[in-house]
Structure 1
Amino acid sequence: MTLLTRRHRVLVVEDEDNIATALNYLMMREGYEPDRIANGGEALGRIRATHPDLVLLDVMLPEVSGYDICADVRRDPGLSDVKILMMTARGAANERQRGMAVGADGFITKPFELRELRNEVRRLLEPRA
């Protein structure tokens, strides 16, 4: 095993500064390499440019919704390995179903417990052998 193991890259797509700052801090503390964008209209371009391992994707964003971003990522064969964890303050079951229908790998309702978020991120980025 090499000492130069690549850290997983996590893109946080969240327009609320306090939530985005907390998510960035948590991802860094967990050993991931975080990046952040606050505007849905710029998200797909950033995902294509940086090819993150995981996108923490808010549903309600300026310009383009998280659902549309997720669907666009799933239509791009070059991004098929990018994992998407959708986040929303709307806790209804139909929101989760819609997220999964457009191709999300996971769905978490805000406010969430940090342990719950950590577990979901690990599940998506560090699959058990």
Structure 2
Amino acid sequence: MSHVLLVDDEVALRESLTYTLQKEGFTVTTAHDGQSAIKQFHKQVPDIILLDIMLPEIDGMEICWRIRAFSNVPIVMLTAKDQDIDKVRGLEAGADDYVTKPFNTRELMARIKAVLRRHNDSKAGNGKASSN
């Protein structure tokens, strides 16, 4: 069972996404601001982080930079910022994927599972090498 750290300041989104993730078999820890996210991360390192950009205290980009300084835990940005430059900045900050709000829940679940699968394959050394 994978552990998700869900970081978003919107209560309704946190609650509905927590419900959906739990139905999909994930354990979920939530944080409502950047400071809480950092504390939760250090308390129990998750298998994946779903991270909003526009957060109180410390924004999602800064959280991503800080975590990338010492960890390769998968990060999926989940945000209303949908301009190309925002997507590029998120990916350059170290996010593994970038999903804009509003989102299709089934697509988000598929993306989360795909990111985890790639990360786990990479950790296990199962990367597919091309044989030319």
- TM > 0.5 fold call: yes
Aligned to 2:114: 123
For residues 37 and 105 of structure 2, the distance between their equivalents in structure 1, rounded to whole angstroms, comes to 24
- For structure 2, the residue ranges without an aligned partner over 5 or more in a row are 127-132
2:97 is matched with 106
Distance 1:106 1:35 in 2: 20
SS of 2:28's partner is strand
TM-score, length-normalised on structure 2? 0.86
Structure 1 residue 116, shift from structure 2 partner? 1.4
Residue pairs, 1:5-20, within 5 angstroms: 7-20=1-14
Could you list the per-position Cα deviations for residues 17-51 of structure 1 after superposition, in whole angstroms to 9, with x for gaps in the alignment? 00000110111011111111101122112112210
Match of 2:59 among 62, 65, 76: 65
Aligned to 1:3: none
Structure 1 alignment gaps of length 5 or more: 1-6
Q: For 2:99 and 2:113, how far apart are their aligned partners in 1?
A: 14
Identity of aligned residues (%): 35
Q: Distance in 2 between matches of 1:126 and 1:89?
A: 25
Q: Residue 29 of structure 1: which of 23, 30, 40 is its match? A: 23
Q: What is the letter of the counterpart of residue 104 of structure 2?
A: E
1:83 counterpart residue number: 74
The corresponding residue for 2:39 is 45
Structure 1 vs Structure 2 CA RMSD: 1.2
The alpha carbon displacement at 1:126 in A equals 2.6
Which amino acid is the alignment partner of residue 6 of structure 2? Answer: V
Aligned-partner Cα distance in 1 for 2:28–2:105: 16
Query: Secondary structure in 1 aligned to 2:81?
Result: coil
Q: Which runs of 4+ in 1 moved over 6 A?
A: none
